[in-house]
Amino acid sequence: MILALAAAVALQAAATPTDDIVVIGQRLARLSASVTRDAAGRYHCALDGSSGNGKLDAALCRVATDCVRKGATEQGAVSACVDRRKPRLLADLRAELAKVRQ
């Protein structure tokens, strides 16, 4: 019984990095960002949730703001622009997590 429990814990520990990325990726896929501009011309971004990773959330806001700055004005255009860049954001996070875990 103890051996089975130890094996289960070892398997869970081994699977955690991949599982983390999968869960974060699923959350990222569901997120959308809205970008507004105040009277002073400053951009502000808000997400409708969180990926569970603060750095990734901040990067998503930077991407959304960049899309708006480059001319995406309609929500559909902003969403399409952001969605095209989400895989790269996730790949960057995966690489960063791999470095940390080494």
Q: What confidence tens digit (pLDDT) does each residue in 19-76 have?
A: 788 999 999 999 999 999 999 999 999 999 999 999 999 999 999 999 999 999 999 9
pTM, 2 dp: 0.78
Res. 12: pLDDT tops 60: no
Q: Please indicate, yes or no, if residue 10 is contained in any of the structural domains.
A: no
In a domain, 5, yes or no: no
Structural domain tally of the chain? 1
Is the confidence at residue 9, as pLDDT, over 60? no
Which pLDDT band holds residue 17 (cuts at 50, 70, 90)? low
Answer yes or no: is 3 within a domain: no
Residue 57 in any domain: the answer is: yes
**Residue range(s) defining the domain that contains residue 77:** 18-101
CA distances from 18 to 8, 40, 66, 83, 91 (A): 16, 43, 29, 21, 12
pLDDT at residue number 4: 41
Asked, for residue 4, whether it belongs to a domain, the answer is no
Question: What local confidence, expressed as pLDDT, does residue 16 receive?
Answer: 53
Q: Is position 6 within any domain?
A: no
